[in-house]
Amino acid sequence: MLACKIDGNWKPFSTTAVAENALRLAAGLADLGVSGNDFTPEGADKIGIISNNRPEWIFTDLAVQQTGAVLVPLYPTTNPLEVKFILNDAAVKYIFVSSQEMYDKIHELMPEVPSLKGIYSFDKLPGVPHWSDLTAKATPELEAKVKERAAGIPEEHLATIIYTSGTTGTPKGVMLTHKNIVSNVKFSKASFPFPDAPETRVLSFLPLNHIFEKTVTYIYLFSGISIYYAESMDKIADNLREVKPDGFTTVPRLLEKVYEKIMSKGNELTGIKRGLFFWAVALGKQYDNNISGGAWYNLQLAIANKLIFSKWREALGGKISFIVTGGAAASENLLRIFNAAKIPVYEGYGPTENSPVISVNRRHPGGLTKFGTTGPLLDGVHLKFTEEGEICVSGDSVMKGYYKRPDLTAETVIDGWLHTGDIGTLVDGKFLKITDRKKELFKTSGGKYVAPQPIENKMKESPFIEQIMVVGNERKFVSALIVPSFSLLKQWMGQNNLPFKSNEDAVKNPQVLEMYQKVIDRYNANFNHVEQVKKFALMSAEWGVDTGEMTPKLSLRRKIILDKYKDIIENIYNV
């Protein structure tokens, strides 16, 4: 059922072992007095978890649910101030941590979190209570008590509170009930059928504390699919080759990194090999799953698949039959190329507040995938648009509300309709397309509205652009902050006899700036005059979670970037 790497070897856990561990841990928690109490959001005990993906994460999740308590998961990268806020807001009673680093982080905050009674670790750490100390407390009587309690938990009771930091402000606790999650799992499984096949394997690396990976995990469990946990983000490539999974879930940023790595290797090729590589990529960009390219195109694509794309598939383990991406918009170019290479990527969409899936492109034959959209709606999800195009949904997956924030809940869920904050439209009457975030639309000083995301997604089709943020609110024109793909830029500078001394030096080089101007000019042709990027600045370092510019879901923190680089932005508009 689950597997993880221990001392260099993959250790499997059978379904029976997982069930036993979860029940024994639930019994240990019950011995501590953990329960759902009166099954109200405030009354139920809260159990925290801050850990990398591993089998113990699932044991804890399933154990907490059986006690009637509520799981409060945190990103391992969450900063101490937010951790303190979440632990206090939820009044977390006990917390599970993965490692010494996580233990130290929580232990330091303990005096400032009055509700917190204890910390348990998954790794064996000197002087720290281990999670197995709780399973050791299990007795047949306690286990029977847990089973009886589990049978009486109402479906409307909270299963979890997931705090979303989003791109601005204080974290909000999204309350999701058992019914919310189970309904989304069942609808997702019906809409995107996975085989009920125990020989199917997946690799899991997106954080389990986000509802996307958590819901997908339950779909895997319902389907009898084996879940292998990647050792770390750095080891994903190695783990893919070892596990040879049938699929995985991801976010566009990680897919872009895979593509950039492939393109970087392609740029190192010479002669016929280089020509064949870029011929294959050019064919991939023309691919459309709904419209046949004709006999000649199909023959060429078959040859490209045999000579070039087969190596791409091998790098992903050689057995990939599905990749599901969500969390942000994926580049249409990237989707075309990967699907042409027989690496099927399906884009989906949904916020935490909907448990989360609203729509997803399908594996069904018969045209239920359309690039550039997030696919048809899930069964059981009802959709409407506001006058300004905001996506609103209703159904069993819509959250109970924001914890202790009835004001925010009233603004977000109106008459049962969840207002997502995303602007969208239906393509061909059935494919949902997200055009922008309602809050990310900005207005130039000329009074024209601009949606930054479509511009950013188009510009990112250039292999020279690693990351980009379009700016221009209340300004005379649209501009952009651009993080170059430094590996490719270094190659380009070498080919043009330009010395590459450092990132800082490269982004000031006049010839580099001239080259990027040409890239911008080429993509500007796709947009109206008011939307075109008139000026830009090149950044000398990649934006990341640790440096604060990206959320843990790898979305841009726009307000933070605007504030952090305000001098550079002012300089763009003052010149």
* pLDDT tens digits, 437-478: 777 778 787 777 788 988 998 999 999 999 999 999 888 899
- CA distances to 252, 466, 488 from 462, rounded to whole Å, are 15, 8, 11
410 domain-assigned = no
Residue that terminates a domain, selected from 349, 381, 397: 349
Give the DSSP per-residue string, 471-498: E-TTSSSEEEEEEE-HHHHHHHHHHTT-
The answer as to whether 380 is a domain residue is no
Q: Kindly state whether residue 247 falls inside one of the protein's structural domains.
A: yes
List pLDDT tens digits, range 287-328: 999 899 999 999 999 999 999 999 999 999 999 999 999 987
| Token pair 């601005």 in the structure block, residue | 168
Residues 497 and 546 in one domain: yes
Mean pLDDT of all residues in 3-8: 96
CA torsion through residues 57, 216, 333, 436, sign: negative
Res 337: pLDDT: 97
- Residue 288 pLDDT: 94
Rounded Cα distance, 381 and 384, in Å: 10
Please name which of 169, 181, 224 lies closest in space to residue 202, comparing C-alpha atoms. 224
Based on the domain organization, do 230 and 126 belong to the same domain? Answer: no
Give the residue from 153, 177, 210 where a domain finishes. Answer: 153
Burial class of residue 271, CB neighbours in 10 A (0-12, 13-18, 19+): exposed
203 shares a domain with 307? yes
- The count of domains in the chain is 3
Is the pLDDT at 182 greater than 70? The verdict is yes
Where does a domain end: 130, 153, 176? 153
pLDDT above 50 for 413:
yes
Residues 122-142, mean pLDDT to the nearest whole number:
97
**Whether residues 449 and 570 fall in one domain:** yes
- Percentage of the chain beyond pLDDT 70 is 98
- Tell me, yes or no, whether 203 and 102 share the same domain: no
Q: Is 243 helix (H, G, I), strand (E, B) or coil?
A: helix
Q: Are residues 149 and 235 in the same domain?
A: no
385 found inside a domain: no
Average pLDDT over residues 357-372: 86
Asked, for residue 405, whether it belongs to a domain, the answer is no
User: Looking at the structure, do residues 136 and 199 belong to the same domain, yes or no?
Assistant: no
Q: Which residues pair with 201 in a beta bridge?
A: 226
Give the span between the Cα atoms of 61 and 64, in whole angstroms: 5
Tell me if 98 sits within 8 A of 54, measured CB to CB: yes
- Please compute the mean of the pLDDT values over residues 365-392 and round it to a whole number: 91
Pair 446, 564 in one domain: yes
Considering the domain architecture, whether residues 209 and 330 belong to the same structural domain is answered as yes
Closest CA to 254 of 275, 237, 276, 231: 237
DSSP 8-state assignment for residue 503: H
DSSP tag of 130? B
Mean pLDDT rounded to a whole number for the chain: 94
CA distances from 326 to 381, 402, 545, 555, 560 (A): 17, 22, 18, 11, 23
Confirm whether 378 is domain-assigned. Answer: no
| Domain containing residue 498: CATH number | 3.30.300.30
Which residue matches tokens 């307000």? 559
pLDDT surpasses 60 at 556: yes
Q: What is the average pLDDT across 29-55? A: 97
- Give the pLDDT score at 447: 76
Closest CA to 65 of 159, 193, 170, 197: 159
Q: Identify the pLDDT of residue 328.
A: 79
Can you tell me which residue has the tokens 């790497």? 5
pLDDT value at 366 more than 50: yes
Q: Which of 229-238, 252-261, 292-301, 353-362 has the lowest mean pLDDT?
A: 252-261
Please check whether residue 369 is in contact with residue 138, taking contact to mean a CB–CB distance below 8 angstroms. Answer: no
Confirm if 113 and 88 have CB atoms less than 8 A apart: yes
C-alpha torsion 500→504→510→514, nearest 10:
90
Which pLDDT band holds residue 368 (cuts at 50, 70, 90)? confident
Residue 314 amino acid letter: E
The answer to whether residues 126 and 260 belong to one domain is no
In angstroms, how far is CA 147 from the centroid of its own chain?
34
Predicted local distance difference test score (pLDDT) of residue 367: 64
With respect to residue 11, please indicate whether it lies within any of the assigned structural domains: yes
Q: What is the pTM of this model?
A: 0.85
Closest CA to 353 of 435, 416, 282: 416
Report the range of poorest mean pLDDT among 93-97, 117-121, 333-337. 333-337
CATH of the domain at 258: 3.40.50.980
Domain that holds residue 488: 442-574
**DSSP H or E segment with residue 322:** strand 322-325
**Residue 167: which pLDDT band, with cuts at 50, 70 and 90?**
very low
Check pLDDT > 90 for residue 266: yes
* Residues 129 and 9 placed together within one structural domain of the fold: yes
- Between residues 114 and 81, which one has the greater pLDDT? 114
Query: Does an H or E element contain 247, and which?
Result: strand 247-250
45, 36 Cβ separation under 8 angstroms:
yes
Same domain, 341 and 199: yes
In a domain, 175, yes or no: no
